[in-house]
Each structure stands twice: as C-alpha cells, then as structure tokens.
C-alpha cells in the first residue's frame, strides 16, 4: 500500500482542552456566540503504528531517528517519495528549539525533547523511557492538559486543539510521541512575538492496540517550559480571491470571498464570508516549484466577532520552506505565490 494513503487513512482525530470542548458543546445555547468548525486531520504519527505493521519494520528508530527533525524528514520522504532538500531541512532546524526537560515517576522517565514552533501552532516531541515497551503495541497517556500564558484563545472566544499520538520505539527502545497544537482567534491573526509559556501535564501511561489496553504506570508528569516566538519568519500575504463551495446544508453553491490571506512556514490562514459556507470539507494545498504538493493537515475556524465572516487557520503536516513555494490551491482555485 502506498505510504501516502496510509497516512491519509490514519491521520484522523482531535483532542482539545476541556475548556474548548465545553465551549463547543454550548455553541447552540447562545446565538450570539460566533460559529466554529474543526477539521482536524492529526498530522502527528497516529499513522506510525499502522505504518510499521504494514511495512514490517523491525526497529522504529532506524526509520524515525531520535529527533523531531528526523520525524519530519521521514514524513517528507514517505509522502513525497523524495528526500527533503537542504533548504527544507534548514528551515525546520531554524524553527526547532531544544527543551530537554525530564521527569521520572515510578521508574518511567518522560522527556520533552524539542519543539518546532510557528506563529499560531507548534509541534512537540516526547520521549518515554523505563517502561517494558513492545513493538507489538502502541502507547499513550490517559489524559493530557496544556495551559498557556498568554493564552491565544482565552480572551476572544478563539478555538484551538491538539493531536497527541504514539510514534514508535527508537533504537534504544524508548517510546516516541509527537504532538501538534494549533489555534485560531475570532479577531483574526494577532501577531505576538513574546515568549509562550506552556504547562504540560500527562497522566497515566497506557499500553493499547485493538481491544488490548493496559495501565503501565499510574502517575502524573508535569512540565513547564517557554517557547521562543521571536525568530519566526514573516508570512507571505496573497491577494483576495473568490471561491465557490457548497453551503452547510450541502444543497446550494455559494460564492465565498477569501481575504487577509497569509501563507506561513507552518500553515495558511484567511478570513472568509459568508460563514454558512461548508469550508470544513475544503482542502488547502501548497504546491512547490518542483511540483511537490503539501496538503493541509487540518485546521480550526472561529466566527469573527465583528460580523458574519469566519477566520480559519490550517496547518501543514510538516514545516515548509516558502522560498520554493510556487502556488497555493484553495479548493479548485490556484493563487500564485510571489
């Protein structure tokens, strides 16, 4: 089976903080609240376990390496059928920050290894050692919470969420996990280069696979770290455009105005109206100069506080060097990138 199809089938699911889940559940109760949508295709390695069984890999570490850059390089090779260029690798290195914080509970050590940071999303690589891990099963935490300061979603009814999935075992037998976090604001994108303080709490390490589920280690691992957002490259602004999509009833075609369109190394964001358009089914694709296509890995949308428009933010499954980006495709409309 083609690896790209494996990724497409397995990249599904979303986890969101409890506060955001509660907001979504209350959406129908307050008509004054702006609408939201989430089309989250997890770009992290939910596919890794399935992929390894299908390909019969003996040691995960020989495929993925032991760094977040190695994961992105493998994803690029698997999906695009070619090695990542030097410029692409350099861009990921530029966006990546070493964290290297560890905590041990009952003999199991969890390390927050590193982060790759965009201006409205980020990826984290976690390494878990000390457990009796097997290549036969997957591993996860029963619960996870994240708190931010400043919180990009708290003040203006924004929306965010994260994927958190098992990646496999590295060459030393440690379990690797990759998470991604993204968010959108009802005020549109608000640039903030100040440090983002993150508190991550993980609870109860679980072994799972199919109908199998076993609690391996009961306990809580907590981490507090800061992400530097001051070195993120500026976005590329594109002209306004118009696209045609189905409305949310899937009965009529509506003309949608797309404005404030910005492409970044980690995704694309824009404002559109009217909000009744069924944009949750729309795919966004970045086309590189050599013809390589990077399809979005999901996104978040929230109603603008000053009208009927929506603001959406889509994430690339791997950071992209915009120096070699040629075209942005939204649905069937292609927009050249200068």
Q: How confident is the model at residue 245 (pLDDT cuts 50, 70, 90)?
A: confident
- What CATH code would you report for 3-227? 2.60.40.1630
Q: How confident is the model at residue 65 (pLDDT cuts 50, 70, 90)?
A: low
Maximum mean pLDDT: which of 40-49, 60-69, 285-294: 285-294
- For residue 180, give the H/E element and its range: strand 175-184
Distance, CA of 42 to CA of 74 (rounded, Å): 16
Contact 175, 46 (CB under 8 A): no
For the question of whether the overall pTM of this predicted structure is more than 0.85, the answer is no
Task: Calculate what percentage of the chain has a pLDDT beyond 90.
Answer: 47
Q: What is the mean pLDDT of residues 181-204?
A: 86
Q: How confident is the model at residue 70 (pLDDT cuts 50, 70, 90)?
A: confident
Q: Tell me whether strands 121-129 and 108-117 are parallel, antiparallel or unpaired.
A: antiparallel
Domain spans in the chain, listed from the N-terminal domain onward: 3-227, 236-336
Q: What is the mean pLDDT of residues 8-14?
A: 37
Q: How confident is the model at residue 124 (pLDDT cuts 50, 70, 90)?
A: very high
- HSE-up of 214 (CA within 13 Å, CB side)? 10
Maximum mean pLDDT: which of 15-29, 186-200, 286-300: 286-300
Distance, CA of 41 to CA of 54 (rounded, Å): 21
pLDDT attached to residue 170: 86
The pLDDT of residue 61 is above 60: no
Domain 236-336 CATH class label: mainly beta
pLDDT attached to residue 156: 56
Average pLDDT, the chain: 80
């Amino acid at each position: 089976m083609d690896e790209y199809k494996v990724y497409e089938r397995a990249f599904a699911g979303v986890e969101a903080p409890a506060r955001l889940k509660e907001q979504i559940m209350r959406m129908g109760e307050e008509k004054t609240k702006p609408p939201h949508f989430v089309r989250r295709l997890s770009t992290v390695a939910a596919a890794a376990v399935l992929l390894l069984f299908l390909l019969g890999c003996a040691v995960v570490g020989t495929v993925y390496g032991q760094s977040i850059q190695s994961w992105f390089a493998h994803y690029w090779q698997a999906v695009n059928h070619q090695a990542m260029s030097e410029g692409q690798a350099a861009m990921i290195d530029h966006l990546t920050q070493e964290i290297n914080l560890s905590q041990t509970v009952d003999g199991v050590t969890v390390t927050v290894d590193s982060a790759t940071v965009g201006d409205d999303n980020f990826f984290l690589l976690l390494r878990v050692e000390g457990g009796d891990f097997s290549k036969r099963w997957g591993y996860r935490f029963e619960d996870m919470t994240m708190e931010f300061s400043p919180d990009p979603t708290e003040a203006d009814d924004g929306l965010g969420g994260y994927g958190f999935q098992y990646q496999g075992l590295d060459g030393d037998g440690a379990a690797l996990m990759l998470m991604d976090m993204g968010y959108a604001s009802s005020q549109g994108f608000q640039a903030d280069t100040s440090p983002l303080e993150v508190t991550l709490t993980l609870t109860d390490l679980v072994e799972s696979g199919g109908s199998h589920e076993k609690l391996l280690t009961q306990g809580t691992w907590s981490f507090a770290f800061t992400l530097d957002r001051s070195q993120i490259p500026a976005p590329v602004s594109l002209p306004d455009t118009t696209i045609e999509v189905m409305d949310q009833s899937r009965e009529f075609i509506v003309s949608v105005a797309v404005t404030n369109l910005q492409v970044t190394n980690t995704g694309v964001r824009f404002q559109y109206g009217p909000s009744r358009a069924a944009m949750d089914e729309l795919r966004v694709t970045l086309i590189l100069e050599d013809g390589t296509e990077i399809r979005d890995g999901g996104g978040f949308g929230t109603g603008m506080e000053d009208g009927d428009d929506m603001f959406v933010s889509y994430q690339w499954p791997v950071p992209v060097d915009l120096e070699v980006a040629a075209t942005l495709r939204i649905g069937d409309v292609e927009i050249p990138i200068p």
